[in-house]
A and B are shown apart, each in its own frame.
Chain A
Amino acid sequence: MNWDLFFRRRAEALLGIYSFFCLVALIKRWDLWVRAVKALIFYLLIPSALTLSQLVSYGVHLGPRIPALANAFQESQVLKEQLRHHALLQIEASELRAENERLREILHFDKKSFPDYLVCEIVARDPGNWFASVLVNRGEADGVRAGFPVVAYAEGHIGLTGSVEEVSRRSAKVLLISDPLSSVSVSIGSQKELAVLQGQGSNELLLTFIVPQAEIKDGDEIITAGLGQAYPEGIPIGSVIDVEPPSSLSFRKAYVRTFFPLSRLKELMILTTKKEGS
């Protein structure tokens, strides 16, 4: 082997090795060793990401209160100390109040329809902008499996949010229904017309494969149809906001808005059993 050439062309040699590794990993992506390396990197990095996420969360809530603390400092040192202590307590209390309200809402969740679910917290979102996915703090150890449907309760509505795509021991990745890779079989309004709901990367979802004769109108509620067994039947998703005019030859399209913005959710519920009767 010509080592001189190797050392003279180190950058190109390293690039070749790196590229070869990536391409092999990509081609053999389902092999055990590739998944093991991926899982190892994930386990090494996730603690730092989670810790920083919590610190930022704390910082975001603390930020607006800093001017108040600065004014208090001008009045007196003692008062400042008391105010800082009070401010911290206030942050904690408001956090707890907000959490309490959200958990109360979750308690009103339809227990009869969904007997078993796990409440989980969103700890991070996909670092790239290619996927609408989130990382939640429940994993295999809590009984979560890939394919479990995920719902949320916010703004007075239960709504389908996505499904579990990958599971590790203490966390899971959830692909949101707003992701363009996501497709859900749904039924529309009281007529129960069937269609397929596809993500578009935003809170507006595309309803396709609607038969031309279907009677749908703005405001019709969309629920899961339960076909394909990916999602149980009857989970609300959103309502129709725009319908394309009927045409005799092709399928119609419509647009649906979710009941609440998926990007603002903090807690989700993973359904661990299917809805009764589905």
Chain B
Amino acid sequence: MNKFFGFGITFVAGFLIQTVLASWLPNPLLCPHIVLLMTMAWGLMKGSIVGESFGLSWGLALDAMGMTAFGVQGFVLCWAGYLSGIVSRWMNAEETVSQMVFAFLGSLFYFLGLQFLDHFLGGIGRSMSWGLVLASCLMNVAVAPFVFAFMQRWIKLCG
């Protein structure tokens, strides 16, 4: 498959999965952040450049669709993709436990990043409770092995 065609499909599919999950789950707080996990998977498996590019694209798409100020999620997801690429040098992305730990740390980074950005520049207008942050992180941890396994196959297919 053409690499850039694969990238395009991945972008649209990731965005749609996130949107549909958020729309159809009975409680939005139970929605795992699939796009964050996919960004980290790209960073881990293909390096920082691909990770940060996907992070930026998905982040801006989520900002455009949602209520956050334009650029908030783009910034944080872009950094998540870049750091995943850096971490990939020391981490075995195929181990389930590593994936789950990485998903937890990545989710924590995402929420703290949003709070940090909101504190200095605004754009979200709220502080999230620690319980909610923890619940969201654990939800991401629960789905991380499935997302990473799928992404391993998909990235091989994309070339």
Contacts and interface: CB of A to CB of B under 8 A. Distances in A.
Interface of A: 10-11, 14-15, 18-19, 21-27, 29, 34-35, 37-39, 41-42, 45-46, 48-49, 52-53, 56, 60, 124-133, 135, 165-166, 173, 175, 180-181, 201, 263-264
A42 B121 contact: no
* 9 A-B pairs with least C-beta separation: A25-B71, A22-B75, A11-B48, A41-B64, A26-B71, A22-B71, A131-B67, A38-B70, A127-B22
Contact of A125 (B23, B48, B52, B72): B23
SS of A interface (majority): helix
Contacts of B62: 127-128
A60 B73 CA distance: 30
Interface residues of B, number: 53
B136 A129 contact: yes
A129 B29 contact: yes
21 contacts: A11-B49, A14-B53, A15-B82, A18-B75, A19-B75, A22-B74, A23-B121, A24-B71, A26-B71, A26-B72, A26-B121, A42-B65, A53-B19, A56-B20, A124-B23, A125-B23, A129-B31, A165-B67, A166-B67, A173-B67, A201-B29
Interface string B25-37: 0111101010000
B89 interface: no
B126 A130 contact: yes
B28 A132 contact: yes
A48 B66 contact: no
Nearest to A46: B65
A130 B71 contact: no
Given A14-B52, A26-B71, A131 B24 contact: no
Nearest to A122: B23
Contacts of B22: 124-129
Contacts of A132: 28
B52 A52 contact: no
